Structures are given as structure tokens and as C-alpha cells.
Amino acid sequence: MIRINENYTKLKASYLFADIAKRVNAYVAANPSKPIIRLGIGDVTEPLPQVCRDALHAATDELGQRATFKGYGPEQGYAFLRDAIAQHDYAARGCKIESDEIFISDGSKCDCGNIQEIFSHDVRLAIPDPVYPVYVDTNVMAGRTGANVDGRYQGITYLECTPANGYVPAVPSVATDLIYLCFPNNPTGAVATKAQLAAWVAYAKANKAIILFDSAYEAYIRDPQIPHSIYEIEGARDVALEFRSFSKTAGFTGTRCAYLVVPKTVVAYDVAGNAHPIHALWNRRHSTKFNGVSYPVQKAAAAIYTEAGKQQTGALINHYLANAKLIRDAMTKLGFSCVGGDNAPYIWVNTGRDSWQFFDTLLNQAQVVCTPGAGFGKCGEGHVRISAFNSRENVETALARIAAALK
Ligand code: MLT
């Protein structure tokens, strides 16, 4: 009799955003005359930049000619894209990252989920709360946790992000091995200072631990004091991997392209205490299980590093950040305390009420979809996340409806 991986039975029946989509679809089916505005899942709405579309067309034409046709590409990504990333995202910020330390993939969600499989099943996890659910769920699937008791999995050190610490967790007093950090943060929109990140790098060094640093939203940082990359912190090359994505930077949620930085200096240990570079392990995993991102998509991603590309993606991000400011200002005016929205596309609203109830109120009375904070963890209760990814018109309409509904 074939058996299932019973770790899956510890999970909630569906993934957070699938759960929300189900509720929203039910509402839409029951209320076809009431158009809804989606400020829930962080999915971009504005068209792909012209440079990316031009690159996609040109690359597709190359594939249409025998002389320039391409079959399998390098699993790790084409050199033209890895070089552009190393130069523009890292060297330009004074970070020493080599092209061959960059692994191109089809998304940070996949990278975050896949990376944990190269670590031992009994590594000790440190995971923020609230958090992007993928970090927790993929470790539950892998059997690294016990049961879910009262909203928390046994075996995880939860890093609480609350109004008291400005939603930036301090290093824990206990030792852990694998630490997930995300800045600008999803869901709270909070950012971490250099000093705060330096404390995490020192903690990781002291514990021979590894930081998985998700900076998918770094392009939204406007405060010049805030680091865009963990590698802006001295010593991070020895203890941190970094996830980046083109999804929110260049509107690639449907196009799919991201990358993972694995410095050759980051190591983990075997049972005898011998150090193994993560780079070699990840390269083995990536080339065994992945055949690379399509050539046209990598060409489109590389196009954002041209002058025109920088200008066009800059305009796109400014559009979403202007939406974010409108949302934060409007929610503040309604009397809620908010974080995020200034260096991130998410506004984290402290509602002081049950978050699913608040979600239902906005859906039923304003026809606006947000994300209930409880879906991101226990510390998310009492909050909702509002996403700035939409047209200006929809954001303005949504805010007017929210104001009327909460009056
Ligand atoms: C979110 O809404 O948190 C994001 O869309 C998740 C993701 O990027 O996978």
C-alpha cells in the first residue's frame, strides 16, 4: 500500500492565497453586479516595460532562425544575464558577488522552497512571524517541524515582529541553524537598518548558521540609508544566500524570472564536522532538477539593466510606490497605525480587530480584497496587509469605498 508523506497532513488544507482566492471567487459568484478591487495577493497589474517586450520579440525571432536557434541553455542561466546582475545589482553597490555565484531561476517562491532540501532534516529553524507562508510550509512538508499547536509549528524558533520592535525581529537568545529574513518585508513592508542586519550576520557567524535573505522587494527602497542587499554588510558573504526576483521589480509575475545568490564562501557541515560549500551542493541540485529559464525570458530580464530599462522599471516602481503612499495616508487618516508603503509595496495596517473579520468587512462592504494578517502567522493577528499593486484609478476607488465602509 503506497503511503503519503504524512508531513503534508500537518499543513492547513490550502495555501494562504489559494484560500483567499476561493473566498473572493465565492463572493464574486454570489454578487456578480459588484465589481471587486484586488489589493490582496501581491500581483502586478501594469504592462511589461517596453524594453522587455522588445527583447522578448527579438529573442523569439532568434529562435526562429537555424543560425541563432537555441536548445537547452545553461541550467544556471546565460552569462549575459548573470554578468549584468553581478555588475548592476552588486558591484555597483560595492558588493563582491561573482557572476558564477548567481543562479537564474523561474521564481523566488520556488528558490525559497527548493533551497531547504540541501540542508539536514534536523536543522534548527528561525522564522519570522508574520511571514511569507512559503518559508514555513516548505519546511513542514520536509518534516522539519512537529505538529501545529495553537497556530504554531513545534520545533521552529519564531521571530516575533510586533509594533514593539517596529516589526524587525532581534536575534534570538537560543542557537539556530537556518534563519529566514525578508527585507523590505513581506508582509509588513518594514525595512532593516545596516546595524540590525549586522547583528544577524554576527549571530549567524557565532552559530555557524546560514541566513536565507529574501530581498525580492529591494527595488522599492527609497531611503538611502537602508541596505538593498545583505552583502552590503561585512562578513555576509560567509553566512548568507540572497533571493531576488524580477516579479515585483519589472512586472515579471507572469513572465517568471528570479535569481539566487550563493557565495562560494558559505558552508554547511556534514556529520563529521567537515565543511561543504553550499555553492557546489546547490549547483548539483539545480543542474539535476532544473533546465534553466527560457532564453527569451532571460533576454527580457537582461534588458532591464540597460539605461532605458532602468528608466522604465524605475517609472513602474514609482507608480506602485505612489499608490502605496495613497493607501498608507488614507488608512492613517482613518485612525489606523501603519507601517510599510514607503520602502515597500505593502502597507501593514494595525486594525486592532480580528483580521479575517476585517478582511470580510472590506470584501462585503467595500468590495476590496486585502490579506488578513493572521494568514501570515500568529503575530499577524489584528493586522491586514494592503498591496499597492494596481492601477491608480482602482486604488483611489478602493480607498474611497473603504472610507465609506468604515465610517
Ligand atoms: C504575496 O502576495 O505575498 C506575493 O505575491 C507572494 C509571492 O510573491 O509569491
Q: What pLDDT is attached to residue 15?
A: 83
- 110 and 158 housed in the same domain: yes
Query: What predicted TM-score, i.e. pTM, was given to this entire model?
Result: 0.97
Kindly report the protein residue whose alpha carbon is nearest to atom 6 of ligand 1: 42
Do the domain assignments include residue 349? yes
CATH number at residue 256: 3.40.640.10
Domain-terminating residue out of 307, 329, 359 = 307
- 259 and 352 housed in the same domain: no
Kindly report the protein residue whose alpha carbon is nearest to atom 3 of ligand 1: 42
- 202 and 57 housed in the same domain: yes
Q: Tens-of-pLDDT digits for all 407 residues of the chain? A: 999 999 999 998 788 899 899 999 999 999 999 999 999 999 999 999 999 999 999 999 999 999 999 999 999 999 999 999 999 999 999 999 999 999 999 999 999 999 999 999 999 999 999 999 999 999 999 999 999 999 899 999 999 999 999 999 999 999 999 999 999 999 999 999 999 999 999 999 999 999 999 999 999 999 999 999 999 999 999 999 999 999 999 999 999 999 999 999 999 999 999 999 999 999 999 999 999 999 999 999 999 999 999 999 999 999 999 999 999 999 999 999 999 999 999 999 999 999 999 999 999 999 999 999 999 999 999 999 999 999 999 999 999 999 999 98
- 182 and 124 housed in the same domain: yes
Whole-complex ipTM: 0.92
| Cα gap 130→105, rounded to integer Å | 26
The residues lining ligand 1, judged by C-beta closer than 6 Å to any ligand atom, are 41-43, 109, 132, 186, 247
Do the domain assignments include residue 40? yes
- What is the CA(12)–ligand 1 centre distance, in A? 18
Q: Which of 43, 255, 369, 371 to mutate to test the pocket of ligand 1 (most atoms within 8 A of CB)?
A: 43
Name all contacts of 264-272 with Cβ < 8 Å and 24+ positions apart: 264/98, 264/101, 265/237, 265/238, 266/210, 266/237, 266/238, 266/239, 266/240, 266/241, 268/118, 268/119, 268/210, 269/208
Do the domain assignments include residue 328? yes
- What is the CA(26)–ligand 1 centre distance, in A? 21
- 10 and 80 housed in the same domain: no
- 189 and 207 housed in the same domain: yes
- 297 and 162 housed in the same domain: yes
- 73 and 146 housed in the same domain: yes
Look at residues 93, 14, 63, 20 and name the one whose alpha carbon lies nearest to residue 298: 63
Q: Which domain holds residue 106?
A: 53-307
Ligand 1 atom with minimal separation from the 248 CA: 8
- Per the structure, the count of domains in the chain is 2
Domain-terminating residue out of 281, 307, 333 = 307
- 264 and 393 housed in the same domain: no
- What is the CA(2)–ligand 1 centre distance, in A? 34
- 345 and 198 housed in the same domain: no
- What is the CA(86)–ligand 1 centre distance, in A? 25
Do the domain assignments include residue 1? no
Phi, psi dihedrals of residue 77, rounded to the nearest 5°: 115, 155
Do the domain assignments include residue 282? yes
| Cα gap 200→330, rounded to integer Å | 34
Do the domain assignments include residue 168? yes
| Cα gap 399→393, rounded to integer Å | 10
Q: Are 371 and 21 in contact (CB under 8 A)?
A: no
Domain-terminating residue out of 262, 279, 307 = 307
- 202 and 91 housed in the same domain: yes
- What is the CA(317)–ligand 1 centre distance, in A? 16
Do the domain assignments include residue 385? yes
Q: What pLDDT is attached to residue 405?
A: 97
